[in-house]
Amino acid sequence: MWGDRRSFHELHELLGECWDCENADMSRAEGCSYIGVISYFSYEVRHAFMGDRLLTLDDKPVKDWSDEMFQLFEKEMERFEVGIELTWPHMLFIMASWWECLRHQDCPMRVLGIIREFTVNIEQLLQQRSKTQYPKIEPYLHGAIYAANPYLMHFMEHINYEYLRWSTFSRVTLSTLAEEMACAAFGTYQYEDFMATLKKQAKKLDCPIEKLRAKVDEWVYEIEL
């Protein structure tokens, strides 16, 4: 995602109107749900307009900061473009969480238009990847993700890990992405299997599921302190 600083700043403020994403008192349970996912997105957007993610100056990548660069960043904003890099699993979960926010919170009317614009852009990008495979991933952009899952963050990171693992071998096809995303759909074998894994690990460690933290290299869990 790329844009000027002002656009990213406005997006961050808009996300804040949907939910208090900067709430320092967020509970572990909230952080594990759709609230945590949308807060993660808000966090990335905020750091993007601060120049802490992707950054170009006059269409050239900026890799190192200096006092001179910082002064330009503050005084000549129009010369800069900022951005963030998100995986497809993260983007799909973010959109599902954003829709879930609308179900629970009174948001400004313009939010709906922006979400639809995001959706159309994502559809176009995925179709550019493969028009023939697009129908397999389309449901996960239009409601197949069970965003009311109280452990949505765990499911997102689990799928994202599998997605990144596949990407180390080759470019991940939409068919493969759709197979991994099946874990996010309530009632599927993959959903039930991973939920059972979380419950088993929580019982083993004698803690709530939301306090689990994955040690991804070994795919085991420990208690988040």
pLDDT at residue 191 in the model: 98
As beta bridge partners, residue 54 has 83
Give yes or no for a contact between 140 and 92, defined as CB atoms under 8 angstroms apart. Answer: yes
pLDDT at residue 219 in the model: 57
pLDDT at residue 217 in the model: 61
pLDDT at residue 225 in the model: 57
Rounded CA-CA distance 111/211 in Å is: 32
Residue 38 lies in a domain: no
pLDDT at residue 138 in the model: 98
Q: Which residue's structure tokens are 């002002």?
A: 6
- In the chain, the DSSP E strands lie at 2-3, 54-57, 60-61, 80-83, 212-215, 220-223
pLDDT at residue 19 in the model: 72
Residue 206 lies in a domain: yes
**HSE on the CB side for 194, CA within 13 Å?**
24
Q: Which domain holds residue 145?
A: 87-223
Give me the average pLDDT of each 10-residue run along the chain (225 residues).
Answer: 93 82 80 93 94 94 90 92 97 96 82 93 97 98 97 96 92 96 97 96 94 74 72
pLDDT at residue 17 in the model: 79
Neighbours of 131 (CB within 10 A): 10
Residue 157 lies in a domain: yes
State the total domains in the chain. 1
Residue 103 lies in a domain: yes
